[in-house]
Structure 1
């Protein structure tokens, strides 16, 4: 099966979409203009667009076809505060939209292709877990496979088979003590900030017992003045691990550090989750093999698996419920690290858009192969049924 590419005016429209997203970054759950741009392009291409799906104003679902195999292409478009698209979401969005247009062409050329294509606009990947919210609210119900691609600051193309991402959870700890005048009667106060300091020291000492590759971070949020014993202190914290068992164990150890601060100072402690848990990424081997075929045809030799990426993604949550693929593909010549202003700038160059074209073609290839091959289709549907029953 040959590998069609975006061409002509349609390629320019997809590139223009990515450039507009890059030039007008919006933060999590605030991606109104981005979602509208994606919706407008797909609507103009004959897709039926539902806006605000899953009770999220910046989420969308655009559909084409009515086949029994339902393939979802995930679109991300939230940016990073003060950085913009330092994770390449403009390219992620463009690649998924481009793949959808190529699959629309396949449906038009072969009416017997038993396929429904959905483009799902997923807000708040950076913070907020938009995909998990959409899962909980039924937006991914009935989907049999889901794909997206992620640019990286490397010249290599990575084999997605065997790669994964870390689970991550984020919380807010609030200490409550008792305020007092710092000079006149400090002994009558219960210093909430001291509790936060003790927790940070304990977490620092915990690091020597944390295995390589596991991560924890505490970021104090409190402010105050020197002549007041602070009655409250707030610490935002997170932890990461490659599997859920280790993640929950690390989380409990970190909670012990926070409890130590409360116990030592006499403060009370309240902990609340800031966003849904991001689960580890399960790359589907069958989909990965088809992706690798397409990358080889595009002249992107594989450099082996990335193994466990230090980063986390809410696409991991999708992959726990639906056979999924989230390959990492390097932008040739880009050496800036992800989540930096330099990467945001470098990813907007010509090589970033060449990657967009190749990723769009490869994702479309994966879906077409599954839809057209009875054996592959049966394997994917069986896997989808297995995951849905978990």
Structure 2
């Protein structure tokens, strides 16, 4: 049997172990930077398999690092395990963590033969904290030639459109007053938020098709008979590239400033997470993945648009981020998708995605031209590509 076939057989033989991990994480959802159980369980499984594994990696409590193999080609598989507020693993990060373990398990006996150093990097807070950018800043991706992960979705998408993102916390501070007796004594912070939201709504007609604006009011007052002295919002802005995002953000900031100017409230605006970059897909490796997934009976669709801090990694390290389909009607971040991320379809997607990705790594390692090209390209410590 070829190495690729042996890797696939090993993943299939240990399927129950990684399915159990995926279900365990799914049953205990944890928010970003709070993934104490998920990171511990993932690290313990990697250690049991034989990888040299550490927790609190790079000084981040819920980051993990596992490694095996002599190199010289350094490949990283990324695990995510954070959940969403109230709707749990409605993005399927439980499957991403288990898939990374499955890939490592499949490749482990063959790392020396393949001439690779295999790293599994547990990356916290993809949903709400930009954990991968924090890891980049701390050198976690230095020396890595290729990084990859698979992400659950309703359908298989080899090349999702990954756009840039910024997250904003906005607070307006006014002056409280009796809304009936002395409204003229007040400065209405809720009015400031209303003006800003109307401005954002009007701005949308001038935005480009890939631009996105969406947000929520997180605090709007205490009682209807008190002029609100504090109103808070959390918004996201997205654009096709980081350069376009910078342009959009200028207009968005102006909308929030308009609310303050018109109402007389004070404005506090901060970015609550590192900006997420658009994704640079490594096309030749992506085609290898598509071939291996197709051999497993997967068929691909196009058209999904997402944001992820994997885009930040791709600016420094050749990367792929295909989506593995659960064949469900619900989309990511819907409560029904959390339900779809456990069960027989999720189990199949987990094993298929891990198998296709592991065999892709074998293909990269055994293609002398490709591995040489990767080794000659910029490392994570170089300037963005």
TM-score where L is the length of structure 1: 0.92
Find the counterpart in structure 1 of residue 115 from structure 2.
114
Aligned partners of 2:143 and 2:380 also within 8 Å: no
Find the counterpart in structure 2 of residue 35 from structure 1.
39
Where do 5+ consecutive residues of structure 1 fail to align? none
Aligned partners of 2:144 and 2:380 also within 8 Å: no
117-126 or 353-362: bigger deviation: 353-362
Find the aligned partners of 2:217 and 2:300 in 1 and give their Cα distance: 42
Find the aligned partners of 1:167 and 1:210 in 2 and give their Cα distance: 15
- Map 1:1-390 onto structure 2 (within 5 A): 1=2, 2-3=4-5, 4-5=7-8, 6-7=10-11, 10-107=14-111, 111-154=112-155, 157-160=156-159, 163-222=160-219, 223-303=221-301, 306-307=302-303, 309-332=304-327, 334-385=328-379, 388-390=382-384
Task: Pick closer, same or farther for the CA change 1:213–1:7 going to 2, 3 Å.
Answer: closer
Aligned partners of 1:164 and 1:282 also within 8 Å: no
Q: CA deviation at 1:40?
A: 0.8
Aligned partners of 1:54 and 1:133 also within 8 Å: no
Q: CA deviation at 1:166?
A: 1.4
Task: Pick closer, same or farther for the CA change 1:212–1:85 going to 2, 3 Å.
Answer: same
Find the aligned partners of 1:172 and 1:389 in 2 and give their Cα distance: 29
200-209 or 177-186: bigger deviation: 177-186
Question: What is the CA deviation profile of residues 240-277 of structure 1, one whole-angstrom value per residue up to 9, with x for unaligned ones?
Answer: 11112221111111111111111111222121111111
Task: Pick closer, same or farther for the CA change 1:281–1:102 going to 2, 3 Å.
Answer: same
The runs of at least 4 consecutive aligned structure 1 residues that moved more than 4 Å come to none
Where do 5+ consecutive residues of structure 2 fail to align? none
SS at match of 2:24: helix
Q: CA deviation at 1:232?
A: 2.0
Q: CA deviation at 1:370?
A: 2.1
Question: What is the CA deviation profile of residues 17-68 of structure 1, one whole-angstrom value per residue up to 9, with x for unaligned ones?
Answer: 1111111111111111111111111111111111111322111001111212
Find the aligned partners of 1:386 and 1:192 in 2 and give their Cα distance: 44
Instruction: Tell me how large the CA RMSD over aligned residues is.
Output: 1.8
Find the aligned partners of 2:69 and 2:35 in 1 and give their Cα distance: 27
